Structure 1
Amino acid sequence: MDRLEALKVFCRVVEFGGFSRAADKLGMSTSSITNHIAALEKHFNAKLLNRTTRSMSLTEEGRKCYEQALRLLEDMDELESSLMQSGQKPGGSLRVDMPSIISRLYVAPALPRFMAAYPDITLKITVGDRNIDMVEEGVDVLIRIGELPSSNLVAKSICKTSYICCASPAFLEKHGVPSHPEELAQFPCLSFLKPNSRQLRPWVFEKDGEKLQHVPQTLLAIDHVESMIEAAKAGAGIVQHMSVSVAEPLRAGLLVPILKEWSSPGPDVSVLFQQQHHRAAKIRAFVEFAEALFARASAGV
Structure 2
Amino acid sequence: MDQIQSMRAFIRVVEAGTFTKAADSLSLPKGTVTKQIQSLESRLRLKLLNRTTRRVTVTTDGAAYYERAARLINDLDDMESSMTNSQAAPQGRLRVDVGSSVARLVIIPALHTFYERFPDIQLHLGVSDRPADLMTENIDCVIRAGELSDQSLVARRIGNVGFATVATPQYLERFGIPRHPSEIEAMHYMVGYFSPRTNRIITQDFLKGSEHIDFIGRNRICVNESNAHIAATLAGLGVAQAVRFLADPHLRNNELIELLPEWERPPLPIYVVYPPNRHLSAKVRAFVDWAAELFSGLPHLQVERPMSDVARADSRASGVLT
Same fold (TM over 0.5): yes
User: Using the alignment, how far apart are the partners of 1:136 and 1:197 within structure 2?
Assistant: 19
| 8 Å contact kept, 1:168–1:233 | yes
Equivalent in the alignment of 2:91: 91
User: Using the alignment, how far apart are the partners of 2:201 and 2:109 within structure 1?
Assistant: 31
Matched, 1:156 2:156: yes
Give the drift of 1:129: 3.8
SS in 1 for 2:238: coil
Letter in 1 for 2:287: F
Equivalent in the alignment of 1:140: 140
SS in 2 for 1:236: coil
| 8 Å contact kept, 2:171–2:236 | yes
Segment drifting more, 269-278 vs 259-268: 269-278
SS in 2 for 1:230: helix
Give the drift of 1:253: 4.3
User: Using the alignment, how far apart are the partners of 2:241 and 2:121 within structure 1?
Assistant: 38
Matched, 1:268 2:251: no
Give the drift of 1:82: 9.0
1:60-83 Cα offsets, whole Å, 9 max, x none, are xxxxxxxxxxxxxxxxx99x9599
| 8 Å contact kept, 1:96–1:124 | yes
Equivalent in the alignment of 2:296: 295
- Residues 300 and 256 from structure 1, CA distance in 2 versus in 1: closer, same or farther, beyond 3 angstroms? farther
Equivalent in the alignment of 1:115: 115
User: Using the alignment, how far apart are the partners of 1:223 and 1:114 within structure 2?
Assistant: 29
User: Using the alignment, how far apart are the partners of 1:135 and 1:189 within structure 2?
Assistant: 36
Equivalent in the alignment of 1:125: 125
- Residues 108 and 165 from structure 1, CA distance in 2 versus in 1: closer, same or farther, beyond 3 angstroms? same
Equivalent in the alignment of 1:242: 243
SS in 1 for 2:182: helix
Give the drift of 1:141: 1.3
Give the drift of 1:198: 4.9
Give the drift of 1:122: 0.9
Give the drift of 1:247: 4.2
1:234-277 Cα offsets, whole Å, 9 max, x none, are 33321113335434434554323221211121321111123343
Give % identity: 32
Equivalent in the alignment of 1:284: 285
Q: Which runs of 5+ in 2 are unaligned?
A: 1-39, 45-77, 303-322
| 8 Å contact kept, 1:163–1:243 | yes
User: Using the alignment, how far apart are the partners of 1:218 and 1:277 within structure 2?
Assistant: 42
| 8 Å contact kept, 1:190–1:216 | no
SS in 1 for 2:218: coil
User: Using the alignment, how far apart are the partners of 1:235 and 1:218 within structure 2?
Assistant: 13
- Residues 265 and 82 from structure 1, CA distance in 2 versus in 1: closer, same or farther, beyond 3 angstroms? farther
Equivalent in the alignment of 1:233: 234
Equivalent in the alignment of 1:8: none
User: Using the alignment, how far apart are the partners of 1:291 and 1:251 within structure 2?
Assistant: 27
Q: Count residues with an aligned counterpart.
A: 231
User: Using the alignment, how far apart are the partners of 1:289 and 1:237 within structure 2?
Assistant: 38
SS in 2 for 1:219: strand
User: Using the alignment, how far apart are the partners of 1:207 and 1:196 within structure 2?
Assistant: 29
Equivalent in the alignment of 1:207: 208
1:129-175 Cα offsets, whole Å, 9 max, x none, are 44444343322111122121234321011111233211224434554
Query: 1:43-192, aligned counterparts within 5 Å?
Result: 81=82, 84-85=85-86, 87-172=87-172, 175-184=175-184, 185-192=186-193
Letter in 1 for 2:192: S
- Residues 168 and 284 from structure 1, CA distance in 2 versus in 1: closer, same or farther, beyond 3 angstroms? same
| 8 Å contact kept, 1:166–1:240 | yes
Aligned Cα RMSD in Å?
Answer: 3.4
Letter in 2 for 1:104: R
- Residues 128 and 183 from structure 1, CA distance in 2 versus in 1: closer, same or farther, beyond 3 angstroms? same
User: Using the alignment, how far apart are the partners of 1:143 and 1:300 within structure 2?
Assistant: 13
User: Using the alignment, how far apart are the partners of 2:84 and 2:285 within structure 1?
Assistant: 15
User: Using the alignment, how far apart are the partners of 1:109 and 1:120 within structure 2?
Assistant: 19
User: Using the alignment, how far apart are the partners of 2:85 and 2:212 within structure 1?
Assistant: 52
TM-score for the superposition, normalised by structure 2: 0.60
| 8 Å contact kept, 2:158–2:272 | yes
Equivalent in the alignment of 1:17: none
Letter in 2 for 1:109: P
- Residues 176 and 194 from structure 1, CA distance in 2 versus in 1: closer, same or farther, beyond 3 angstroms? same
